[in-house]
Amino acid sequence: MSEGADMTTMTPIFPSSTDAAGQRATLGVLGGGQLGRMFVHAAQRLGYFTAVLEPDPQSPAGLVSHHHIQTGYDDPAGLAQLAQLCQAITTEFENVPAQTLHTLAQTRPVAPGAAVVGIAQNRIEEKARFTACADVSGVSCAPYAVIETPAQLQTVLDERAELLPGILKTARMGYDGKGQVRVQTAGALAAAWAELGHTACVLEKMLPLTAECSVLVARGWDGQVVSFAPQRNVHVGGILAVTHAYEGALPPALADRAREAAVAIARHLDYVGVLCVEFFVVDDGSEYGGLVVNEMAPRPHNSGHYTLDACDASQFDLQVHAMAGLPLPQPRQHSPAIMLNLLGDVWFAADGQLREPDWSAVLRLPGTHLHLYGKVEARAGRKMGHLTITGPDAASVTTVARRVAEMLGLPGLDAM
């Protein structure tokens, strides 16, 4: 099977099926972090065996999977073993080498595919795709310029002054606020590009933002698409801190636009799997109609973790369904929810001493759902887990979320 082959008639991989050798249906994932761990749990709940390819012997996903192939993502022997074990394969993060996905797709269904993951790995290509489908998605990017050479930098300095103030972002490997520098002037832009090692970048115009939001979409091999309602996100230091997932978290018309745009982007990319599209909400008086597309993640996303507790099908359930060719149920949210990210900072007292947070006090509060990822070492800025608060209405979950934030010293709730 070559990548890009017609998979619209793919035979579903059912959990109870076996191959010619009597091996149970096994789903594979590249990457052993928390997203991989939650994927493994979702697959195992349906009855699948699972395999994780990840070099870290203590990885959260590897520790709970039936098989852990402890090797690098470009190791031919490891990839051959993964392909031999698995009937379908996915990835938990976008920086797995695209060539790895291409290699695996020669013999196994791989979702998402190498081509679309390669686009998500490069902001230049990603923005070009968003621009190309703006007519169908109805949403554009913020104005930007590509800077890969001194000549392109000079062109921006001479002819694109309207892009300043702006944010200079590396084209590759930027996440959670990394690889980004805010620049106010032409001199600051030149200095920032030098600071980033003259690597390929995009310069984005800073817009008057009022909020950030994201939409999770799942698309099957047959083109079926389902989606969750958009959620409003609050970032602190470039890292997601809070997700608001309840009716009224965003204006209804804007939420509808974001959802329609995310579905259109998934279709434009011929995407298979779970896709998160992130948007900026801008001043309604601007030329952008209140919404611009920022970036996408070809996988489940931190902002969708609330779906584990507040919906009848989580983003990880849909990831399993999509890759295995199972029907995609339209998820239904049964409870308003707020998700609070738990970084390693929570494990440190004011004097810098390591200590266990007071989970007993937190879990006494109604509607609290604690998810810790099984990471063996807490470090400042490291994602260690999350808390979802559910309840009968937005007011009640907000009250409990505020209390939890006070107990644990969590940031980002000023936007609540």
> Where along the chain do the CATH 3.30.470.20 domains lie?
209-415
Consult the annotation and say whether 205 binds a ligand: yes
- Whether 295 has a binding-site annotation, put simply, is yes
Start-end of CATH 3.30.1490.20 domains in the chain:
143-205
Annotated binding-site residue? 174: yes
Annotation-wise, does 283 bind a ligand?
Answer: no
Q: Please compute the mean of the pLDDT values over residues 149-153 and round it to a whole number.
A: 96
Cα separation of 87 and 273, whole Å? 15
pLDDT at 413: 81
Q: What pLDDT band is residue 174 in, cutting at 50, 70 and 90?
A: low
| CATH code of the region 209-415 | 3.30.470.20
Question: Across residues 333-344, what is the average pLDDT?
Answer: 98
177 is in an annotated binding site: yes
Two structure tokens written together for 17 = 């099926």
Is 123 annotated in a binding site? The answer is yes
The response to whether 381 counts as a known ligand-binding position is no
pLDDT at 415: 52
pLDDT of residue 194: 94
Distance CA 381, CA 92 (A): 20
175 annotated as ligand-binding: yes
Answer yes or no: is 196 a known binding residue: no
pLDDT of residue 176: 59
Q: Is 232 annotated as a binding residue?
A: no
Predicted confidence (pLDDT) per residue in 127-140, tens digit: 999 999 999 999 99
197 is in an annotated binding site: no
**pLDDT at position 274 over 50:** yes
Judge whether 206 is annotated as a binding position.
yes
Contact 345, 380 (CB under 8 A): yes
> Before 300, cis peptide (omega within 30)?
no
Distance CA 2, CA 25 (A): 21
CA torsion sign for 95, 101, 104, 109 is positive
Residue extent(s) of CATH 3.40.50.20 domains in the chain: 26-110
With contact defined as beta carbons under 8 Å apart, do 243 and 250 qualify?
Answer: no
User: Is 235 labelled as part of a ligand binding site?
Assistant: yes
- For the chain, give the percent of residues with pLDDT over 70: 95
Q: Select the CATH number that applies to the domain covering 26-110 from these four: 3.40.50.2300, 3.50.50.60, 3.20.20.70, 3.40.50.20.
A: 3.40.50.20
- Kindly report, residue by residue over 285-304, the tens digit of the pLDDT: 677 779 999 999 999 999 99
Averaged pLDDT for residues 291-319: 97
10 marked among binding-site residues: no
User: Which pLDDT score is estimated for 177?
Assistant: 61
**What is the band of 399 on the pLDDT scale with cuts at 50, 70, 90?**
very high
pLDDT at 178 over 60: yes
**What is the architecture of the domain spanning 143-205?**
2-Layer Sandwich (3.30)
